[in-house]
Structure 1
Amino acid sequence: MRHPTAEKVSMATTAIKWLKRSVVASGAIIAAYLLAALAGSLLPANQDWQSPDDGIELFIETNGLHTGIIMPIWSDVHDWTPLVRPEHLQAPSFYGSHILVGWGHAGVYRNTREWSDLHARDAISAVFGSDDVLIHVYHLKYPQAYPFYRRRLIVSEAEYRKIATAIEARFVLDDHYRSQPSAGYGKDDLFYAANGHYSAFYTCNNWTSDVLQQAGIRTGRWTPFQGGVMRWFPESAE
């Protein structure tokens, strides 16, 4: 008959082995994900795209975590005022000439302005997937390009129409075809009810690239991180 102490040692040894295997497997999965993200961000979609000499001025912006697209509130091509209204803001005077629009996981968006703010429950939900998503809209007044976080992008009128159509499709409307705003971080931003499915394989940054890809604009094929988006809009292009 095996001694009870020996039995406990054997069980502990087995548990340690399984723990080591789990750590190794988790590390391999994370490494594979990061390598895939790097490869996806380097492989171009719409490789032959060229920015027109004359067109609509947009910007691609990052805060180090999320990316988004800056567009004029109104132009001859598209009008955002039916969805993004001055009265949605607590202080309508903050209504801008342009809007910065992003899409993402509701918990991460509301609770994580910087990486240090990330909650474990939001991270787990984001990784494994959630339909709890939002559109985030910042109001800006006559934005300019900045080297590190805001890059200028000129697109044709036809390309901008496709961008606007793709973004509009993410807004959830009520029975009267109105967008559904809720409070943002401050006086110049709002969240809007949105549709879509967020996961580790389709992040806020994937969404930015996806919108641009649908319009035929060159960007990375798979860009779960902000750096994979921004690399396609270099400072020298400003």
Structure 2
Amino acid sequence: MATTRIKWLKRIFASLAAAVALYLIAALFGSILPANPYWKSPDDGIKLYIETNGVHTGIIMPIHSDVHDWGALIRPEHLDDPTEYGSHILVGWGHEGVYRNTRYWQNLRFKDATSAILGSDDVLLHVYHLKYPQAYPHYRRAFKVSEAEYRLIVEAIKSRFLFDPSGNAIPSSGYGKDDLFYEARGHYNAFYTCNSWTSDVLSQAGIRTGIWTPFQGGVMRWFLEPNTDGL
């Protein structure tokens, strides 16, 4: 009986190891195979940034531009201190439990990790306010998009917001004075992560990125050029 149990445990662990290995291999190839391979950043366009904190990625956009004004949706009065309202916003999307309970990865709870892997409709948009951001090679990289591409990015992000009966976004407290969570729509799982979402938004706008990027490195690798604020 004990020998049979050991054999079954070995098979289970071997199956799990094989599944993880296949996932990582697929993520590698998905990250290096491009969607929209012929896209080029225009010389004259709207400057955006891709940022990573080492795990999550997000898109930095100007709050006000000729193409779109985020001020009607993301308002100064949503913040406890409206003076923290920025010139730009960093927007990411992800699993609610992980976002709210895991500011630092040592705080990650097994329950939240399991829910994120298996799948959940409990998702949020995370918005940081930034004031005149600059590019940094290791975690924030600049690129430009055309007005038409930016409109598609805006629409893809706006479609994730949930609204109250009056048509307003629904904010809640973030980690500090300069960030907020917003109620959102979507389904998070191991195959559609916060980083998959970032690439999905870019891909919908015709911008070159990996075809499947569950990890932050798969997103950032497509913006390796040494861009600076003189871009």
Q: TM-score, normalised by structure 1?
A: 0.94
Q: Which secondary structure state, in structure 1, belongs to the residue aligned with residue 226 of structure 2? A: helix
CA distance in 2, matches of 1:102, 1:12: 49
CA deviations over 1:139-184 (Å, ceiling 9, x no partner) = 0000000010000010000000000000000000011100000000
What residue identity is the alignment partner of 1:19? Answer: L
The correspondence for 2:104, drawn from 105, 114, 118, is: 114
CA deviations over 1:48-102 (Å, ceiling 9, x no partner) = 0010000000000000111000000010000101110000001000000000000
What is the deviation of 1:105? 0.3
Residue 105 of structure 1 contacts residue 126 of structure 1 at CA under 8 Å; is this kept in 2? yes
CA distance in 2, matches of 1:114, 1:46: 34
| Structure having the higher Rg | 1
Give me the identity figure in percent. 71
Residue 64 of structure 1 contacts residue 114 of structure 1 at CA under 8 Å; is this kept in 2? no
Q: Which secondary structure state, in structure 1, belongs to the residue aligned with residue 191 of structure 2? A: coil
Q: Which secondary structure state, in structure 1, belongs to the residue aligned with residue 92 of structure 2? A: strand
Q: TM-score, normalised by structure 2?
A: 0.97
The correspondence for 1:29, drawn from 19, 23, 28, is: 19
CA distance in 1, matches of 2:102, 2:141: 23
What is the deviation of 1:235? 4.1
The correspondence for 1:152, drawn from 135, 138, 142, is: 142
What residue identity is the alignment partner of 1:201? Answer: F
What is the deviation of 1:119? 1.3
Match of 1:63 in 2: 53
Runs of 4+ in 1 over 6 A off after TM superposition: none
Match of 2:156 in 1: 166
Residue 135 of structure 2 contacts residue 227 of structure 2 at CA under 8 Å; is this kept in 1? no
CA distance in 1, matches of 2:35, 2:154: 19
Residue 65 of structure 1 contacts residue 114 of structure 1 at CA under 8 Å; is this kept in 2? no
